[in-house]
Structures are given as C-alpha cells and as structure tokens.
C-alpha cells in the first residue's frame, strides 16, 4: 500500500504502517537490550528496566546528542516532533544507528485541538493509538501520585480541624496547622478541564472535608512530571517526591509530602513510570518516550533517564525540547543539561514557511479554520519580514555555544523561491540550513538534514550555561528576558517579588535551577507579539517552588496551568471500529 | 522459605512467594490460550484478548460456576477474596482445573484503611504490587473516560453560555441547553477524597467554565465501571457508553454522551480495558481480574466477560460477589446472571467467628484498633446469638434456588466448640458447612471446602430470578427489601418517588435491571443494626439512572458515592525499597 500524506490523515498512515510493525523485541534487540531489560507491554510497546540497564551501560561510550527545537510556532505547531522522527529516519538512511527520544502526549491536546504528538505524514512513531492514549500509564501514575498528596493534605486538614491534639496523638499524628490560604498544590487531571481551574472544595458537613478555595492543574504541569523528567534513579525520585512543598503552616513552615507521610505511597505509584517506554518509527528505528510536553508551563522535556540510556545505545540520540528555542531549548540548555551533565553536539531549529509568514504579519492562524491563501501561495515579502523570528532563534542557540542547523520543514505548497530565501537568511546568520521532506517522503526526504546534522556534530563544541547557579534569581530572569526573549527589562508583581525574596533567602532553594513559565506563541509574554518584538517589559506575576524537582518557577504574564477545551474539540472525531478495536480519527 | 501467616504480613508472604512466581505465559498455557490471545504486560501479568479468545471459545463446553459471598462483614472484611483464592487452591489440590475470577482493588481502600484485596495469608494472588496499584490501568481508563464526559459537558455549557446560535452552528453544534440543576454526572477519582464530594466549579471569568455545584464520585461507582462489568463485546460497550445520561436539558430532554459527541472518544480510552487481566495464586492457579469492587454503591461484580471466558477455560470458575449475600449476591443473582445468562452451580457463604460474635452483640470492631478479647477467646453465647445473621444469609441464597455451602473461614484463635456450633446451625438450615484453613495452610487447608463445593455442584439446580423485568420498580424494591433484607416495608422520599415514576413511564427504562445502593455493614440500611434486624422500614432517598449500563439505582439511606480517608490511613505505611523497586507495606 502506497502511503501518501497528501491523501491520507496521519492516523490512516499510522494504521497502514502498523500492518508491518516490527515486534518490540526486535526493536529492543537493535538497542542491544538483554534478558530482563526489555519489558513488553503488548506486541509493539515496551518499557525498559532502567535500573538494570543503567547498571550495564553506565560506563559505555556515548553517541552524538542532537536537540530539536523550533522558531515561534503557530497554534498548529510547526512539526518539531515530525522533524525529530524525520531526522531519525534520515540518519537511518545514512546507515547510522539513530534513536529518537520524545515526550509522551498529554490527553489535554489529544482530545482538544492539537491532536496526536507522534509526528506526521511519513515521519511518525507507531503504534499510534497506544502512544496517543496513555501508553503504559505513566501520566496516570503521575495524576494518581499527585492527587494522593492532595487527598493526604485535605484529609489531614479536616481531621486536624475536627479532632483535638489528644486524639491525633493517639495515632501518632502531630498537628501541621496548614494555612488554608497558603496551600501550594492543586489537584491534577490530564485534560483541558477549564471548569476545574478555580473551585471551592470541602462543602457540606465537617465530615465532607475542609472548605477552601482550590483548583486543578493539567497533569503535565505537575511537579511530579518535572521530577520524572529530571530524576536520575529510583532513589533520587523517592527523595525528590518527599521534598515537594504542598503548603505552608500558619507559622510559615513548609509542609511537605514527607510531613504528610504520603511520599512513600506516592513513590509506590511511580515505580514503573521511572522506566522509559519504547516504540518505533514507521521505518523501524527505536524511539524512547518518557515524561511530558508543555514547555510553556512545565519543563517540557523528555526525561534525563531516557537520554542517559539512549545516548549509550545508539550513535545518534535525537531528543526534542518543547516549543521554540526561547522556551524549550532554554530549559534544555540551562536546566535539563545541568541535571544530565550531557552536552548537545548539534541543535536543529525547525522552521516552516507558514510560521515565518505569520511572523511577517500574515493573517492569524487558528486550529480548525482554513488557512489564508497568503500561506498556500508564494509570498516572499511576508516571509522575509517574518525571518526576524528565525534570526532571533538562531541567535538564542548560538549563545549556548552550539552551532544551529536550520531545518526548513517543507510543505508541498512551498515554492523554491521561498526555500531559497530562508536558506539565504540562515547563511547570513552563519547557520547551516537544510530543506527536509520527511513528512512527504520519510527518511529519504530527510537525507540533506541528516547530513547537515552529522557535519554539525563534528564541529568543535563551546557549550556553556547562560548563568551560574550562584546568580540571584532576579538576575537570572533578567538575563533570560533580555538575552533570550529580547525584552528591555523585567517587572515583578508585589506577590512575585515577595516570594522570590523568600526563596533567595533560603540557602537550599538559592542554589536550585529555574524553570520559566511563559507563552510559546511569542518570544514575549504576549501571544500577539509576533516576529522578534522589542521594546517590551516581561511581567513576572507569580513564582512557584518545585523543591522536589529542584527549581523555582517564575510565571510570566497571564498564563494558565490548566488550558481550556475549545468549542470544536478533537474528541468529536475520535471513535473505535468495534469489529477490529482500532481507534479512528486521532488527528 | 517457610511462609507463616501468623508471623508475616500479607505483603511479606506475597514478596516471598513471588520468588517462585510462574511466567505468565505458563499460566496462559494452563488456560489453553493460543497465539495472540495472551498479551503479557510485564513478566507476571497479562491481558487476555477477549474478542479473539471468545471467537474461539464461544461454543466450547462450560465448567462449573461457583459464586462466593458472605455474611454481613465487620469493617475489616471476613476474607471473601481470601476464601475465593483458598477455594481455587483447594480445587487445585483435588486435581481439578480451577480458575478464580475476582475484582480489581480500588486505590481508595488500598491507600486508606482496608488494604490489599488480593486475599491473605497463603490464599492470595500475586504479584501483589501490580495487582494492588492499578494493574494494567483499567481503572485509570475508566477515570479518564468518565472525566472526558465531564470535560465535554462543562465545556459545552460554557460555550453555549458564551456564544450565540450562529457561532455554534458554524462548527455544527446545536444548543443542548443543559439545566445546571439537573446535571446527573459527577467527576471521578479513585481515591477516598471526601473534600471533593461537594464542590463548586467554574469560578472566575466566563472563560473559566460555567459556575455550578458539582462533585466527585469514586471511580468504582462510575457508570463506566458498571458498563465494563456487564458488557458482552466491544460493540456492546460502545453502544452502552453512548447511552449514558449525563444531564437533562431545561426542557427535560435527556443529554447523553452521544449528544456531546464524546462517546467514541470515551470508548477509545476503554478499548484495552475490555480485555480481562490474568494473574496467579500463590500455588500457581490462574486468576482473572476484571472490573471493580464496592457492591454497596456499585454493581461490585467481576465482569461478565471474564466469567464467560473463564467458565470455558477450566472446569471450575470461582467468582466473587462483593460484600454479603444481601448486597453482592443479590446483584450477582438478579443483575449479573441476567446479563451473562449463566447460572451458578453452587454458592459459598463465608462466615467468621469474629463477625458472628459482633452480630451477637460483641463490642464494635474498627480498623486500626486492637480486637476486644470477646473475639479472640471462646464465647459461645455471643456466637450463637450472632448466627441469626448467618441464617438470614443462608435463606437469601436458598431463595435463588441454589444450595449454599457455608465456609467457616477459620482463624487460629477459633475453638473447636465455636466451629461445632456454627456447623450445627448450618445443618439446621439444611446447608453444607466446611471449615477452611486456607489462610494458614493454602490449598491443603481448603480441601474440606473444595469437596463440599464439588458435591454441591452435582446437585440439581433450581436457580431463578427474584423478580421479572416486567415487575414495576417499586415492587422490585419492595421484594428485595422484605424478602432479602428482612424489612417490614419501603419508604420513598419525595425526590426518589418523583424520579422512579419518571423512569417507570419510560418504556425503555421500565424493562431495565435494578442495582441497589445500600450499606454492606448491616442487612438493613443502618450500619448499626447488626444480626438479622426486623421491624424496620427501608428508606429510599434517591434514584439514579445508569441507562448505558442498563439499570436504575435506588439509593437506600445515607450512603456516599465517595468514601472518606480516615485519620490513620494506610498510605502512611507504604513505601518503596529504592534498591530493588519492591513496594513495601501494602497491608
């Protein structure tokens, strides 16, 4: 069967490709996995026993490490995962042993407007339905561990409210005296459930909880997701989970999951989630899937563990950092690489003609709406203007000391003149550039990109962090805002200012990492500022503390930790063929 | 290693027994499963591909069908699952090919006060940690499918509130006009999260949802759990999910998941959950695990699918119906058997000296508190008085036309005289009786029980339903209240009365089944009425409609669909050995 992305939806291509899917044992063998290291979970999905495999591999030689980032995307996304898969296929065509490392999709976007996060066209990972619908349950484990902490906290508040010290002492419980106004944790759900953003809980009698304001956040933004992304071992994960600050007491003391005596049980729910998942590309190359997306409101990186294993099992590990270079790559660079100790050998910046035209002033691009002809017909003027955004992202990557490779993720409506224009601008910025047609042609279409990446990996590497951990948080935010985002300065709200001073005064927190929360739809905090905006101030509205994950989280602008489901959500199209059990309509 | 239940916690026995656990492929081979029918999910757990296996087995001969129920339990439970496992082991010792079929535990009790639901002592199924902590994710799938319906409903209410008809029409959406006072569905979470019982959602701006009262229910009480328990195929499950009534419109019309166009996506999340799970007893006999517990607030039965398969794969299928005969067995008898078309060949009633003494007026039994000496020393007076409860349950089972087998689940503090007394009373009621020591001795300890069950299965069977589906609901409730619970009559609240009349007037609903919600701690609706209470009236407070599952749900007395976490919850003891990954403290 000929797979034609111009005629078939992604899920139809996946379904057809799955006719020839390789048994997961065969993919495991490609990675050199030994007895007990591969744990099949169905015919084409497996977990990799991290502890056992790491023991064998920890001193093994490492391959090349390639990160894939992008320019500021339209709300449709610019094919970063597609390019990651395409690059893996292209490296495969060149005879290398490539491995992909991507994040597991959140059910929020899957059922809302963004659809599958498996790539697209002929550059996808399969099997699509398990990949898109929870895989081996890691996110459910995170949701459950997170909510168990909230169950422990809210039940404790109720019991401390209802019972006297004597009764509590009988069961060995000392009063924590949680301040209901200073509960830090929300509940978690992996859907875009905006109606749970702000809620009142504990209504009814004194046996129905403690009445207070609360809310939900999307699972991918949970601190436990961050912990999964940065943990280096089960022991490390266990310790981090116990350090999570869920609230403060009325006297200002931290209340942690360990104080609630729930950290062990939370870890029990997370034991299996620590093992990375294994799937394959359409062309049969291995893909590790571990931890979560949403680099705007979370760390948004594939796990340190998956990368540490992957780089020792192949000769190229292609990993992906969420959204654009200001968001995902900045966190890859200053946060994830600090945890892993790894340094990228090359960084790919994905650009599309569509997004660059939008940055040049093209009409707004919205999911579910037909594209304006400006995007499907040649328009060099819009494109050239929009390339300011590409230039900005090239310069972000260059500041890390690694040479960027611009990948034009080709679309079949693009013209040669459009591609030539982008190539010229990349060259002016002294960046490699390749056009890639992996969406249309799979690995064969990505050979130019793969060759450019192989070449870039041989270059001398001057990778260094943007800031030291000795730098005060406000200075770090200022550095990111001005050097990465292109802002003129930073403005702190009173609440944020108070919190950051408190964190700065804590010698343990002071040395922690920092994970920005900011929209991905602009280099600035304002989604409407396209291109490479200048002359604006970054407003910091709030600061969260993820003491278990090990970072403070400045929140820029009006961004929500629980997105909303739109009026025309994707779940309307999803169904099941009841004869075969195949899921249809994952878009 | 000698496994001694008097010296070791259940989880320690499980851990030791797991040293010799059989590969799940070996257990699958015992069931005669063929290529593709067994889907290993880790080394000792598998799913069974239902559709494929059923196709092969549907005309196969069936074995004997044994249900295990109990007397009214103490809050500690009287070892029904333990006895189910013990009976399977005992039948194995007799050289039969037995299969167990039990329900997957809910995380609510697991992390709260009840602990593991894998059985106990030497009558357990293993591996314990996966079994206790989500197994292959079926309950997470239910939670997710359930909450996706709520996401669809609440987002729709918001969008209908914010947008005019024209804008809705553009995306092909017709106004449903949901009445916020008549939303039937709650959100789901599989924890005892009492603070989410009554909540206000949608607070904030008009983009933060539609403000209204809402709440959570425990996942096991979800209609989707009921659908999983009664569905006979993927097609059947798909249709049932689409019929779920989530709300009523302002004009009184039903609003279903199909109206929200979310039923296909919900089914997509449930495809894998339809496949029963396979584990093993400590002695290596196969155990199917599928669907959920909580026969007080849910159907509380292992799935029809698991039983339909199991009865064709061995010569004895031992299944379990939740709690006591008034609750679990009544639903097994009048609801589950109607869906499956199966008839039990024998029914085991589990009794303990401890519970019978409590029914005779012994001091209250509470989790986490030491037992009063009345329970650990011989006390024939309390015991004899309490046997009124046993007699009542024997008579419930007899009304179904099947001969009961009383199983005294022996405890090492029981005396011979106590056992003799129970045997005498069972004999007076013309019921078989066996003492079983499976907890202490495994299958060897359950031989007397197994022999009694084999004998009972050879008896002539007069099984028939308590009521026909032509009978009006009020008459059915009256029949159950007076003949099963021993009430003098039924009292309907105004709200319940109004609802039942509405359901009675609907020709489709009129012919549906009925699933009572009532406490399991008494034959009555009042947990304090022990023994075999008489002269009381059953109050029906509310009636729910599970149109997808196919039954109406009368709610008796003040029972909650979301239990609470106690002040000394089990999660305090649960932890992980970070060197081995083993979960400790599952009690």
- As for how many domains chain B has, the answer is 3
pLDDT of residue A114: 63
Task: Answer yes or no: is B75 a known binding residue.
Answer: yes
Q: Do B191 and A151 make contact, defined as CB atoms within 8 angstroms?
A: yes
pLDDT of residue B75: 83
Q: Do A198 and B203 make contact, defined as CB atoms within 8 angstroms?
A: yes
Helix (H, G, I), strand (E, B) or coil at B287: strand
Task: Inform me whether the pLDDT recorded for B116 exceeds 80.
Answer: no
Q: What is the mean pLDDT of residues B309-324?
A: 95
Residue B149 shares a structural domain with residue B248: yes
Q: Measured between CB atoms, which of B195, B234, B569 is closest to A209?
A: B195
Task: Answer yes or no: is A115 a known binding residue.
Answer: no
Q: Do B199 and A204 make contact, defined as CB atoms within 8 angstroms?
A: no
Does residue A193 belong to any structural domain of this protein? Answer: yes
Residue B255 shares a structural domain with residue B348: no
Q: Mutation test of the interface with chain B: which of A189, A569, A570, A580, choosing the one with the most B Cβ atoms within 10 A?
A: A569
User: What's the whole-number average pLDDT of chain B?
Assistant: 95
A263: closest chain B residue by CA: B575
Task: Answer yes or no: is B442 a known binding residue.
Answer: no
Q: Measured between CB atoms, which of B136, B199, B576 is closest to A268?
A: B576
Q: Which two tokens stand for residue B24?
A: 């799940």
The CATH number of residue B212's host domain is 3.30.1510.10
Residue B161 shares a structural domain with residue B208: yes
Q: Do B41 and A42 make contact, defined as CB atoms within 8 angstroms?
A: yes
Mind listing the pLDDT tens digit for each residue in A178-189? Answer: 999 999 999 999
When pLDDT is cut at 50, 70 and 90, the band that residue A267 belongs to is: very high
pLDDT of residue B369: 78
- The Cα–Cα gap between A130 and A63 comes to 29
**C-alpha distances in Å from residue A488, one per residue of A542, A554, B286:** 20, 17, 68
Does residue B49 belong to any structural domain of this protein? Answer: yes
Q: Is A470 exposed, middle or buried (0-12, 13-18, 19+ CB in 10 A)?
A: exposed
- The Cα–Cα gap between A99 and A284 comes to 10
When pLDDT is cut at 50, 70 and 90, the band that residue A77 belongs to is: confident
A136 is an active site residue: no
pLDDT of residue B122: 96
Q: Which of A82, A84, A219, A281 is catalytic?
A: A82
Q: Which two tokens stand for residue A98?
A: 């490539």
Mind listing the pLDDT tens digit for each residue in A447-476? Answer: 999 999 999 999 988 999 999 999 999 999
Select from B281, B280, B282, B279 the least CA-distant residue to B3: B282
Q: How far apart are the first and last CA of chain B?
A: 20
Q: Which residues of A touch B127 (CB under 8 A)?
A: none
- The Cα–Cα gap between B244 and B236 comes to 13
Residue B400 shares a structural domain with residue B545: no
- The Cα–Cα gap between A108 and A38 comes to 29
Task: Answer yes or no: is A128 a known binding residue.
Answer: no
Does residue A571 belong to any structural domain of this protein? Answer: no
Residues 78-117 of B with CB under 8 A from A: 107, 111
Residue B419 shares a structural domain with residue B291: yes
Mind listing the pLDDT tens digit for each residue in A25-37? Answer: 999 999 999 989 9
**Backbone phi and psi for residue A409, each to the nearest 5 degrees, phi listed first:** -80, 95
**C-alpha distances in Å from residue A145, one per residue of A263, A500, A526, B110:** 9, 28, 33, 13
Helix (H, G, I), strand (E, B) or coil at A514: strand
Q: What is the mean pLDDT of residues A355-364?
A: 94
Q: Which two tokens stand for residue A350?
A: 């994905």
Task: Answer yes or no: is A370 a known binding residue.
Answer: no
Task: Inform me whether the pLDDT recorded for A1 exceeds 80.
Answer: no
Domain end call among A269, A295, A317: A269
Q: Which of A47, A96, A114, A441 is catalytic?
A: A114
Residue B444 shares a structural domain with residue B492: no
Domain end call among A219, A247, A269: A269
Task: Inform me whether the pLDDT recorded for B57 exceeds 80.
Answer: yes
Does residue B127 belong to any structural domain of this protein? Answer: yes
Q: How far is A180 from chain B (nearest CA, A)?
A: 13
Q: How far is B309 from chain A (nearest CA, A)?
A: 18
B82 is an active site residue: yes
pLDDT of residue A188: 98
User: What's the whole-number average pLDDT of chain A?
Assistant: 95
Residue B204 shares a structural domain with residue B180: yes
- The Cα–Cα gap between A260 and B71 comes to 37
pLDDT of residue A76: 82
Does residue A354 belong to any structural domain of this protein? Answer: no
Q: Which residues of A touch B261 (CB under 8 A)?
A: 571-572
Does residue B55 belong to any structural domain of this protein? Answer: yes
- The Cα–Cα gap between A542 and A556 comes to 7
Q: Measured between CB atoms, which of A140, A173, A201 is closest to B195?
A: A201
Q: Which of A80, A240, A243, A312 is catalytic?
A: A80
Q: What is the mean pLDDT of residues B494-506?
A: 96
Select from B493, B482, B431, B469 the least CA-distant residue to B552: B469
Looking at this predicted complex, what is its ipTM? 0.96
b/e burial code for range A389-401 (CB count within 10 A of at least 16 → b): bbbbbbbbbbebe
Q: What is the mean pLDDT of residues A143-155?
A: 98
- Strands A432-436 and A404-409 turn out to be parallel
Q: Do A578 and B191 make contact, defined as CB atoms within 8 angstroms?
A: no
- The Cα–Cα gap between A239 and A241 comes to 6
Residue B417 shares a structural domain with residue B278: yes
Task: Inform me whether the pLDDT recorded for B507 exceeds 70.
Answer: yes
The CATH number of residue B387's host domain is 3.40.50.300
User: Which stretches of B429-490 are DSSP H helices?
Assistant: 438-441, 447-457, 473-479
B575: closest chain A residue by CA: A264
Q: Do A111 and B192 make contact, defined as CB atoms within 8 angstroms?
A: no
Q: How far is A167 from chain B (nearest CA, A)?
A: 10
Task: Inform me whether the pLDDT recorded for B576 exceeds 70.
Answer: yes
Task: Inform me whether the pLDDT recorded for A75 exceeds 90.
Answer: no
Size of interface A-B (CB pairs under 8 A): 249
Q: Which residues of A touch B43 (CB under 8 A)?
A: 39
Within 10 A of A371 (CB to CB), how many other CB atoms are there? 16
Q: How far is A43 from chain B (nearest CA, A)?
A: 7
Q: Do A565 and B151 make contact, defined as CB atoms within 8 angstroms?
A: yes
Q: Which residues of A touch B193 (CB under 8 A)?
A: 147, 150-151, 154-155
- Strands B46-48 and B38-40 turn out to be antiparallel
Helix axes A138-162, A263-270, angle to 10 degrees: 160
Does residue B579 belong to any structural domain of this protein? Answer: no
Residue B278 shares a structural domain with residue B344: yes
**C-alpha distances in Å from residue A342, one per residue of A307, A309, A311:** 9, 12, 9
- The Cα–Cα gap between A279 and A302 comes to 14
Residues 134-173 of A with CB under 8 A from B: 134, 136-137, 140-141, 143-144, 147-148, 150-152, 154-155, 157-159, 163, 167-168, 171-173
Residue B311 shares a structural domain with residue B243: no
Residue B490 shares a structural domain with residue B410: no
Show the domain range for B29: 10-135+273-457
Note whether B269 and B196 are within 8 A (CB).
no
Q: Which of A139, A439, A492, A551 is catalytic?
A: A439
Q: What is the mean pLDDT of residues B579-585?
A: 92
Select from A230, A69, A260 the least CA-distant residue to A146: A260
> Is B574's Cβ below 8 Å from some Cβ in A?
yes
Task: Answer yes or no: is A135 a known binding residue.
Answer: no
Select from B434, B407, B147 the least CA-distant residue to A134: B147
- The Cα–Cα gap between B199 and A211 comes to 9
Q: Which residues of A touch B195 (CB under 8 A)?
A: 154-155, 157-158, 201-202, 208-210, 214
DSSP assignment of B480-503: IIIIII--SEEEE-HHHHHHHHHH
pLDDT of residue A436: 96
Task: Answer yes or no: is B80 a known binding residue.
Answer: yes
Q: Which residues of B touch A259 (CB under 8 A)?
A: none
B170 is an active site residue: no
**Backbone phi and psi for residue A186, each to the nearest 5 degrees, phi listed first:** -110, 175
Q: Do A197 and B189 make contact, defined as CB atoms within 8 angstroms?
A: no
> Is B232's Cβ below 8 Å from some Cβ in A?
no
> Is B26's Cβ below 8 Å from some Cβ in A?
no
Does residue B436 belong to any structural domain of this protein? Answer: yes
pLDDT of residue A105: 94
Note whether A159 and A176 are within 8 A (CB).
no
Domain end call among A239, A269, A299: A269
The CATH number of residue B484's host domain is 3.10.410.10
Residue B20 shares a structural domain with residue B42: yes
Of the spans A510-519, B290-299, B554-563, which averages the highest pLDDT?
A510-519
> Is A133's Cβ below 8 Å from some Cβ in B?
yes
Mind listing the pLDDT tens digit for each residue in B119-170? Answer: 999 999 999 999 999 999 999 999 999 999 999 999 999 999 999 999 999 8
pLDDT of residue A489: 97
Q: What is the mean pLDDT of residues B218-240?
A: 97
Select from A120, A122, A89, A86 the least CA-distant residue to A105: A120
A103 is an active site residue: yes
Q: Do A200 and B203 make contact, defined as CB atoms within 8 angstroms?
A: yes
Q: What is the mean pLDDT of residues A540-569?
A: 93
When pLDDT is cut at 50, 70 and 90, the band that residue B379 belongs to is: very high
Task: Answer yes or no: is B79 a known binding residue.
Answer: yes
Q: What is the mean pLDDT of residues A5-34?
A: 95
Q: Do A238 and B368 make contact, defined as CB atoms within 8 angstroms?
A: no
Select from B304, B449, B321 the least CA-distant residue to B397: B321
B215: closest chain A residue by CA: A201
Task: Inform me whether the pLDDT recorded for A45 exceeds 70.
Answer: yes
């Amino acid at each position: 069967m000929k797979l034609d992305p111009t005629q078939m939806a992604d899920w139809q291509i996946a379904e057809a490709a799955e006719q020839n899917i390789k048994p997961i044992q065969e993919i495991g063998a490609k990675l050199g996995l030994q007895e007990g290291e591969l744990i099949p979970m169905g015919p084409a999905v497996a977990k990799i026993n991290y502890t056992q495999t790491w023991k064998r591999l920890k001193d093994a030689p490492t391959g090349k490490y390639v990160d894939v980032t992008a320019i500021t995307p339209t709300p449709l996304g610019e094919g970063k995962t597609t390019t990651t898969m395409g690059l893996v296929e292209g490296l495969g065509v060149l005879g290398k042993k490539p491995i992909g490392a991507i994040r597991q999709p959140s059910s929020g976007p899957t059922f809302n407007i963004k659809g599958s996060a498996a790539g697209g066209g002929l550059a996808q990972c399969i099997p699509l339905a398990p990949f898109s619908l929870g895989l081996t349950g890691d996110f459910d484990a995170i949701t459950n561990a997170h909510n168990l902490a909230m169950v422990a906290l809210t039940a404790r508040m109720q019991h401390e409210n209802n019972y006297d010290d004597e009764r509590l002492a009988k069961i060995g419980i000392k009063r924590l005296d949680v301040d209901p106004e200073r509960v830090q944790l929300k509940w978690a759900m992996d859907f875009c459930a905006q109606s749970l953003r702000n809620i009142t809980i504990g209504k009814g009698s004194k046996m129905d909880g403690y009445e207070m304001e609360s809310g939900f956040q999307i699972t991918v933004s949970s601190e436990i997701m961050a912990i999964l992304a940065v943990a280096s071992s089960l022991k490390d994960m266990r310790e981090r989970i116990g350090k999570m600050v869920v609230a403060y007491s009325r006297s200002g003391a931290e209340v942690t999951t360990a104080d609630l005596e729930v950290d062990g049980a939370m870890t029990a729910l997370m034991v299996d989630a620590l093992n990375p998942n294994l799937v394959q590309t359409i062309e049969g190359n291995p893909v590790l899937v571990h931890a979560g997306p949403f680099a705007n409101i979370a760390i948004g990186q594939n796990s340190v563990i998956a990368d540490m294993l992957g780089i020792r099992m192949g000769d190229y590990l292609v990993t992906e950092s969420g959204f654009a270079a200001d968001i995902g790559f900045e966190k890859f660079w200053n946060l994830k690489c600090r945890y892993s100790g790894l340094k990228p050998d090359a960084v790919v910046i994905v650009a599309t003609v569509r997004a660059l035209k939008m940055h040049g002033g093209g009409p707004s691009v919205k999911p579910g709406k037909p594209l304006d002809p400006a995007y499907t017909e040649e328009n060099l003027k819009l494109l050239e203007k929009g390339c300011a955004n590409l230039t900005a992202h090239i310069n972000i990557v260059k500041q890390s000391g690694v040479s960027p490779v611009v990948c034009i993720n080709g679309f079949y409506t693009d013209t040669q003149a459009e591609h030539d224009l982008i190539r010229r601008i990349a060259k002016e910025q002294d960046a490699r550039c390749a056009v890639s047609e992996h969406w249309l042609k799979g690995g064969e279409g990505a050979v130019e990109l793969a060759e450019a990446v192989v070449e870039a990996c041989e270059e001398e590497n001057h990778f260094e962090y943007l800031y030291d951990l000795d730098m005060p948080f406000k200075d770090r935010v200022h550095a990111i805002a001005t050097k990465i985002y292109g802002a003129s300065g930073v403005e702190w709200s009173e609440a944020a200012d108070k919190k950051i001073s408190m964190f700065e005064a804590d010698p343990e927190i002071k040395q922690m990492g920092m994970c920005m929360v900011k929209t991905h739809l602009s280099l600035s905090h304002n989604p409407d500022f396209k291109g490479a905006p200048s002359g604006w101030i970054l407003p910091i509205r709030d600061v969260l503390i993820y003491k278990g994950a090990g970072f403070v989280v400045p929140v820029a602008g009006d961004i929500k930790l629980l997105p909303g489901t739109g009026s025309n959500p994707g779940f309307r199209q999803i169904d099941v063929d009841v004869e075969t059990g195949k899921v249809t309509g994952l878009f």
